[in-house]
A and B are shown apart, each in its own frame.
Chain A
Amino acid sequence: MSLLEVTDLRVSFPTADGLVQAVRGVSFSVDSGRTIGIVGESGSGKTVLTQTLLGLTQGGRIEGKAVFDGTNLLGLRPDQLRKVRGAEIAVIFQDPLTSLHPLYKVGWQIVEMIRSHDRSVSKKQATERAIDLLGRVGIPRPRERVNDYPHQFSGGMRQRAMIAMALSLSPRLIIADEPTTALDATVQAQILDLLLRLQQESDTALIMITHDLGVVADIADDVMVMYAGKAAEKAGKHDIFYLPHHPYTKGLLESIPNSSAAGQRLRPITGQPPSLIRLPSGCAFHPRCAYVMDKCLTEQPRLAPVGDDGNHVSACWLPVTAAGLAAEAEELRRRAVGLGRNEAAAKIAEAIAERPESEGSVIA
């Protein structure tokens, strides 16, 4: 039994323009001491997914299950959820300046966090704890800095303070939503290093949401690639990077500039992510997919095992043997496309070939 097991989670928001289907049936699990990286572009539903676990989505229709240590989080009353949030599951947000209250001292905010879950801790004890935590996350002279306001901290220090706050109640699961996106490379390296070290010390489970494949390559064990509210592909880190099956995963990997192909032309994915109100029929990725087949236009592929270990699953109609970036895999894909592409798909493929790098039309 995993620490957190999410099953067929769906979240949608009714709006004046129609129903926004932000998350459309996502399942995944995390074990203690493991890190799952959730990757996807803006609007792929990765943030809504994790905020829903903590009851932070307002006005959404939520279906599915999210069982944390035997309790379904989605069935909890607000006061029950409040006990879990912070104490058992902590969150680190992208922007540490807006996540810290500007009018309160950093130390006070950590003390408040500790005392709101356990009133028996005295203010003095809690302050000592806050100083200890700030020291552990690498803030110099924590005894003095505990009395600073957030604006007196640099960006990296604020993010450290957020991590200190997240750790203050020794949570068993940390959800980090783009924790290093706003930081410079050298500071990002420090923060990732810190997260890994803390995770190893206390066997915490970590959900790392990011759009940066470099961060995932660095610290994740497992990866889930999301597209338009669904998991496109899930696998261990190495399979995702070296044996990608879903054309979207492959496209993401190919669009990043890398040193071995410096100076060469990048190969971006055509078009832009779909509107979550008017989703394409069949596979949501088909209007951007170079391997589009007729089946993709009408039938939604389910996650199916790729490879031998059973942990690698992909939602794509291409043959399950066609994984990876090697020439043989490409040959398999081409052959499948040759058989599966008739008139309807040929038209889309032609359109993609015609505007290989344009972004398609204006947002619907």
Chain B
Amino acid sequence: MSDTLPRDAARPVPPEAAEDDVLVRVDKLVKHFPVRGGGLIRRTVGQVQAVDGVSLVVRRGQTLGLVGETGCGKSTLARCIAGLIPVTSGTVTFEGRNITNLSRRAMQPFRREIQMIFQDPYGSLNPRRRVGAIIGDPFAVHKTAKGAARKKAVQELMERVGLNPEHFNRFPAEFSGGQRQRIGVARALALRPKLIICDEPVSALDVSIQAQVLNLLADLQSDFGLSYLFIAHDLEVVRHVSNDVTVMYLGRVAESGPKDQVYETSRHPYTAALLSAAPAADPDAAAERRRIILTGDVPSPINPPDGCRFHPRCPKAQELCGQQEPVLEVKPGDPATHLTACHFPVQAGESLARVAGRDRR
């Protein structure tokens, strides 16, 4: 029997060259949060479909960028992968082992391997504890270093992320935003994890400081062979750091693939709109650009639209889009790594812009 057809093409899992290249595989992950009524019994009256069947792959030593708007489920997905919240269905596989919904004890060894950096460098550090203690916490939790050895390890980490090791005894309030983010990076790095999930790590920082932190993350990646799942809404930042990019919309993957494929030859109208909306720091480009102005806001994930979830805002939507959910698949002419969930993908040279570049003076 011949098996010439690329079977992977129809499956919503990005196909890859070699399986041992893969650090994390997420397959059809679903996370619904119950919505309870206000009455005495608190019956479940609905589900927030925060993540609804997402599949993705993080490769060793590489960065997967995850983009999407507020409420698209990217942070929920990150928390599911890190095992911070139980998943509703689907699987998370880390180095070939299924780590979905493990017990606390069974999860413990994996927690070392998967660490997180959070968006808010103010909110993610306890203001009443000294920086040395904060960075040393992972050693305490995992009982790997004590006393003088722990202090030494912490100071090495501080040095590595560009903090002065002598500031070991200071409180978070004595550091600036960028420095606090470095503290968060040091803490994440303490146990030499294989995967760091960065949830909007530079969004709260000024541009000049943002560049410092991005360079630090790049250095650490090459020094320690780290893999990153990099979540951000700034498309230029994601383009800068990522090898592959996954675009999410309302709990589902709209498009995914190698960075250049997704950015240069976007197939999903949502990706195209997102890219056209992001302002570039270049007045000439801004004047020439044809912006796709979407109408309306992201709908509620409690009651998402039928069919393609993007169809009520999509400039290309047709009747089919409201009836049938598109499958995440390779579109004609695309490489096998570039997947799009759209009935009417954007063709090369096609323009979706409603208005030509706004001419001003």
Residues of A within 8 A of B (CB): 41-42, 140, 154-157, 184-190, 192-193, 196, 211-218, 221, 237-238, 241-242, 251-253, 255-259, 262-263, 265-269, 272-273, 355, 357-359, 361-363
Given contacts A42-B177, A215-B279, A238-B283, contact A357 B208 (CB under 8 A): no
B216 CB contacts on chain A under 8 angstroms: 357
Q: Does A255 contact B296, Cβ atoms closer than 8 Å?
A: no
Q: Does A214 contact B208, Cβ atoms closer than 8 Å?
A: no
In the assembled complex, the Cα of A269 lies from the Cα of B358 at a distance in Å of 33
Q: Does B215 contact A357, Cβ atoms closer than 8 Å?
A: yes
In the assembled complex, the Cα of A218 lies from the Cα of B214 at a distance in Å of 25
Residue from the list B174, B207, B276, B283 in contact with A252, Cβ < 8 A: B207
Residues of B within 8 A of A (CB): 69-70, 162, 164, 167, 170, 174-179, 182, 206-212, 214-216, 218, 233, 235-237, 239-240, 259, 263, 273-274, 276-286, 291, 293-294, 296-298, 358, 360-361
In the assembled complex, the Cα of A136 lies from the Cα of B174 at a distance in Å of 47
Residue from the list A41, A157, A359 in contact with B179, Cβ < 8 A: A359
How distant is A38 from chain B, measured CB to nearest CB, in Å? 15
Given contacts A140-B296, A185-B235, contact A213 B179 (CB under 8 A): no
Residue of A nearest to B218 (CB): A265
Residue from the list A190, A193, A253, A362 in contact with B358, Cβ < 8 A: A193
B contacts with A: majority SS? helix
Q: Does B206 contact A268, Cβ atoms closer than 8 Å?
A: no
Residue from the list A192, A253, A263, A272 in contact with B240, Cβ < 8 A: A263
Q: Does B297 contact A154, Cβ atoms closer than 8 Å?
A: yes
Q: A189-B294, A213-B281, A242-B283 are in contact. List 19 more A-B contacts (CB 8 A).
A: A41-B207, A42-B206, A140-B296, A155-B70, A185-B235, A196-B358, A214-B279, A216-B281, A218-B286, A241-B281, A241-B283, A258-B280, A262-B240, A263-B240, A266-B240, A273-B206, A362-B167, A362-B175, A363-B176
Q: Does A268 contact B279, Cβ atoms closer than 8 Å?
A: no
How distant is A189 from chain B, measured CB to nearest CB, in Å? 4
Q: Does B178 contact A262, Cβ atoms closer than 8 Å?
A: no
Q: Does A186 contact B175, Cβ atoms closer than 8 Å?
A: no
B206 CB contacts on chain A under 8 angstroms: 41-42, 211, 273
Residue from the list A154, A217, A242, A359 in contact with B279, Cβ < 8 A: A217
Q: Does B175 contact A255, Cβ atoms closer than 8 Å?
A: no
In the assembled complex, the Cα of A266 lies from the Cα of B214 at a distance in Å of 8
In the assembled complex, the Cα of A164 lies from the Cα of B2 at a distance in Å of 65
